[in-house]
A and B are shown apart, each in its own frame.
Chain A
Amino acid sequence: MSFLARHRIILPVVSLAVLLAATFYMQPRAMSYFGLNLLFNLAVPIALATIAQMMIIMVNDIDLSLGAFVSLVACVTATFLHDTPMLGLLILMALILAYAALGALIHTLDLPAIVVTLGMSFVWGGLALFILPSPGGASPDWLRSLMTVKPPFAPMAVVASIIIAVVTHLLIMRSGIGTVLRGVGGNARSVERAGWSVIRLKALAYGLAGLFGVLAGMALVGLTTAADANIALRYTLLSIAGVILGGGEFIGGKVSPTGAVIGALTLTLAASFLSFMRLSPDWQIGAQGAILILVLTARLIFRQKGAEA
């Protein structure tokens, strides 16, 4: 195996570094504590959502309801968690449990996750509209101060990204249960033969996704100070792209938490970069796709080279 194939984290890191250098070149003002925070603070909820998506992709499923789920969490956070914190907390915990139950259901009935989650996206979306029919609500004060905290040396966005990456890396790559979870994606049958209950593991993976989805929604409200029912719909696709950009694969339990966080940062930065370039909005979405394809092509080429070697 070549160096690059063994260290799949290299490519995401290089993509981010190249894009960051280009952004700094175009907009030197971004090269500051204040600038970095502006550039990346909205990437924090995206990074959390990407981790949530990664948990699902890790067990060979895909979650098309994540954006709607994060929107729902944002609505709950901006209403219940703000007005009646205990009730809000209970609802958020119930949502995490619902996600875990969904994982168990998908496994027991052998349903395709893509269909179930697509269906659930309408349920989450409907609940969000029910809770917050028109945009509004307010962020709990502690959450707002958490998201606008100004740590020394590095801005909040950077510190938060590093914390998310380290914590999830320890959880998924280093811990015993993390290894088993990845095993479910790699070969569920052998994990089952080894004496593990796959249904519980799937519920755990979905529960973790629910947990990170909830964190993403809360972080988002902390940044925006309010919510609306459509606030995070784009997160579904962004999170999938983030996982893949960060070196994850759709099958086989091959994921990288650090890569996922970097993928989320890269996607956010790509949008800013295109905006700095004064590219017409008609082209921007296409250009965003082009960047994605470019990185994936690079990955494919490196992998083929690795296979030859």
Chain B
Amino acid sequence: MMISKMLLGAASVAMVAGLAQAESHMADTSGKRIALSNNYAGNSWRQAMLQTWEEVGGQAVADGVLAAADAYTTSENQATEQAAQIQNMILQGYDAIVMNAASPTALNGAVKEACDAGVTVVSFDGIVTEPCAWRIAVDFAAMGREEVDYLATRLPDGGNLLEIRGLAGVFVDDEISKGIHEGVAEHDQFEIVGSVHGDWAQDVAQKAVAGVLPSLPEIVGVVTQGGDGYGAAQAFKAAGRPTPLIVLGNRQDELQWWAEQRAANNYETLSLSIAPGVASLALWVAQQVLAGNEVPKDLTVPFLKITQDTLDESLASTPEGSVANVTYTLGDAKQVIADAQ
């Protein structure tokens, strides 16, 4: 066991030595270990995220770029548990922690401890506000605005909108909702007549929408946060009401439903969300920081948009029960870093 490990280590060192000669501009990170701290795995988006991490991280380890890229998920989605998890990672001696945070602020204490211990911390999707950490953020407010902008192009006369929100108290929910309300303020032909929490899950969204529908006037559009569009569509169908224009969130079931509706009655909409592959981007950013490269603390990643034209292609590449995805490469990471500089 011990000997085989040593041999393996020696082999990878030799391999990396070769690589390092080939790419002399890249500082050696072959001895560095990166951990992924994830707070939740209970939906298709997170599953795809973990899968991407495993693929890209595994490849990076196999190529000798990194010594380890381990993923940890807390058993419950709680900031206190994730804080403990991060403290454990410090103890385990990881060089960098890549994290999707349960709370932008409640983990700051643990993140600061990591920084003080010399650990690089890169947060993505659910970012942390602690200044010593890197942030790969999505402009969620812009995502909300874009939804309303799109509705304005499709429905110039305006009308009543139903808003489906995410999980109460989570900042992503606040940001997207803020963007939606800004968009509605800009396009004053729209009015939000109802707002429910769908918790980013189809079944919850369906129940919530079904509960509120009888009290609502005619709805022309539904603005969503992703993971809730299919449930909303089912609720409208069950209530016997005409299907409004529902903005979708890249989930496979949503895309599938869209394709069916398109075939049946030429339904047209827009789907947008953050790609779970952003985990791979965070991995490469952490690697770049470990390699000693200058990386700005705040980076932005574009969201993944699916239109009527790209629907077939996206649907084909998205496994059932999953979510449309892109995997980022080291080159992409360098591009994002360069854009921010």
Contact = CB atoms under 8 A, between A and B. Distances in A.
Interface in A227-248: 227-235
Interface in B144-179: 168-171, 174
Interface in B104-153: 104-110, 112-113, 117, 129-130
Contacts of A97: none
Interface in A192-210: none
Contacts of A136: 104-105
A135 B90 contact: no
Contacts of B83: 42, 223-224
Interface stretch (B18-26, B70-78, B185-193, B265-273): B70-78
B108 A224 contact: yes
A266 to B, nearest CB: 14
A276 B80 contact: no
B70 A233 contact: no
A224 B109 contact: yes
B318 interface: no
Contacts of A275: 72, 85, 88
**Size category of the binding interface on chain B:** 35 or more
A288 B85 CA distance: 15
Contact of B80 (A132, A234, A285): A234
B105 A234 contact: no
A30 B84 CA distance: 13
Given A233-B78, A285-B75, A228 B103 contact: yes
A226 interface: yes
B108 A38 contact: no
Contact of B169 (A129, A268, A284): A129
Contacts of A129: 168-169
B93 to A, nearest CB: 6
Contact of B91 (A29, A220, A281): A29
B176 to A, nearest CB: 12
A220 B70 contact: no
A137 interface: yes
B75 A231 contact: no
A29 B88 CA distance: 10
A278 B73 CA distance: 10
Contacts of B106: 135, 224, 226-228, 231
B84 A134 contact: no
Given A42-B87, A135-B106, A272-B88, A284 B70 contact: no
Contacts of A85: none
Contact of B171 (A135, A224, A268, A271): A135
A134 B171 contact: yes
A5 B109 CA distance: 41
A145 interface: no
Contacts of B84: 42, 268, 271-272
Contact of A284 (B75, B91, B92, B168): B75
A134 B170 CA distance: 6
Contacts of B105: 135-137, 224-228
B81 interface: yes
Contacts of B91: 27, 29-30, 35, 38-39, 272, 276
B41 interface: yes
B75 to A, nearest CB: 4
Given A281-B73, A281-B75, A231 B103 contact: yes
Given A234-B78, A278-B70, 20 more contacts: A39-B88, A42-B84, A134-B171, A225-B108, A225-B109, A225-B112, A226-B103, A226-B108, A227-B105, A228-B79, A228-B105, A230-B78, A230-B79, A231-B106, A233-B78, A234-B76, A234-B81, A272-B84, A275-B85, A281-B73
Interface of A: 27, 29-30, 34-35, 38-39, 41-42, 45, 129, 132-137, 220, 223-235, 268, 271-272, 275-276, 278, 281, 284-285, 288
28 contacts: A38-B90, A39-B87, A39-B88, A41-B87, A42-B80, A42-B87, A129-B169, A133-B169, A135-B103, A135-B170, A135-B171, A220-B80, A224-B83, A224-B106, A226-B108, A226-B129, A227-B105, A228-B105, A230-B79, A230-B103, A230-B169, A231-B78, A232-B80, A233-B78, A234-B80, A275-B88, A285-B76, A288-B75
